[in-house]
Amino acid sequence: MTKKPPFSLPSGAQWPRETGTLLDLVGNTPLYRLQRTLPSARPGIELWAKLEGYNPGGSIKARPAAMMLHYAITTGQLRPGQIILDSTSGNTGIAFGKLGAALGYAVKLTMSSGVSIEKQQFLRACGVDLVLTDAAQGSDGAIRKAQEIYESDPDLYFMPNQYHNPANVWSHYLSTGPELWAQSKQRITHLVAAIGTGGTVMGTGWWFREYAPHVRIIAVEPDQADHGLNGMRHIPSTMRPGIYHESGFDRLMRISTDTAYEMAQRVVRREGLLLGASAAAVLVAAQRVIQELSSGVVVALCADRGERYLSTRLFESDDNRF
């Protein structure tokens, strides 16, 4: 990683605390040691999962959503009566829907129609005005549609623009990074995290570069453009998020959809943890990292739970070998 991060933290950017709202429940998610997923792991190696599904809305995206909204309100960018508008692959949108409701704001979101029906139902249950876009265009199509809606009436909408908003990165610098360090009792040696908007990897990578530079940051992306790892981006074939920089991590690993799905099924049957596809992909990468080590404490950042993917192929298997 570079010596200096390509981001700056404004003096007014603070993690929301004691707000008296749902924002106070974001973060401080469990760090859980996986004992049975890799039973053949050598002594001296530990695998831990940071279970972000315990956030409000059930995913890590509650962190950037909380930070983006809190900072926008405190700086006057988000005004009473405005509508929160953005594109989403589901998880950030769910976080916006729940937090927006708690803060008294209407929410309008664009999303690919290829996203799981559970996520669509969740968003509508939160009262979100949901605009579905062509599944063939993926998340890029939803991004373009959100921009089109915003430009039709900029005064009506506040657009966090999660792919370009530095507050997305700040959320992980201010919360996820220090949490991981404290919960691991300062023993973490490797952090493995998926690339979606890039905020998680960039923010945690920035924090560890400053405070614990020996910790290696491993970023994970799908191995091809046409994949089934919802919430993850194949950077070479999609719009490049403005907050994404290769300098934010030490290593990039590419994981196949089938391998991730197999891991998701293994983890729920061996550990009782129902995780999403991106979390499973991260665990596959973590397993490969562990195979290269003689000792270490590896943390897999598991972005969400698996309940919102039950209508997909994620858990379809007749294989009982797990």
Residue 232 has pLDDT above 70, yes or no: no
Give me the residues paired with residue 107 across strands.
84
* 150 band by pLDDT with thresholds 50, 70 and 90: very high
* 233 band by pLDDT with thresholds 50, 70 and 90: low
* 140 band by pLDDT with thresholds 50, 70 and 90: confident
**Averaged pLDDT of the chain:** 90
Provide the CATH number for the domain formed by 22-56+169-302 in this structure. 3.40.50.1100
* Higher per-residue pLDDT: 308 or 277: 277
Q: Which of 50, 61, 98, 145 is catalytic?
A: 61
- Check residue 4 and give its pLDDT: 56
Identical topology for domains 22-56+169-302 and 61-158: yes
E strands within 64-150? 83-88, 106-112, 129-133
247 is catalytic: no
* 318 band by pLDDT with thresholds 50, 70 and 90: low
- Check residue 2 and give its pLDDT: 45
Nearest to 85 by CA among 106, 65, 99, 70: 106
89 is catalytic: no
* 125 band by pLDDT with thresholds 50, 70 and 90: very high
- Check residue 322 and give its pLDDT: 47
Structural domain boundaries in the chain: 22-56+169-302, 61-158
**pLDDT tens per residue across span 170-206:** 999 999 999 999 999 999 999 999 998 899 999 999 9
**pLDDT tens per residue across span 54-66:** 999 999 999 999 9
Q: Which two tokens stand for residue 174?
A: 């201010």
CA distance 191 to 189: 7
Nearest to 302 by CA among 111, 215, 40, 271: 271
- CATH class in words for 61-158: alpha beta
- Check residue 98 and give its pLDDT: 95
Cβ atoms of 231 and 89 within 8 Å: the answer is yes
Q: Which of 112, 171, 175, 278 is catalytic?
A: 278
Cβ atoms of 264 and 275 within 8 Å: the answer is yes
pTM for this model (two decimals): 0.90
| Structure letter (DSSP) for residue 176 | I
Amino acid at 260: A
Residue 133 has pLDDT above 60, yes or no: yes
Q: Return the percentage of the chain with pLDDT > 90, whole number.
A: 70
* 167 band by pLDDT with thresholds 50, 70 and 90: very high
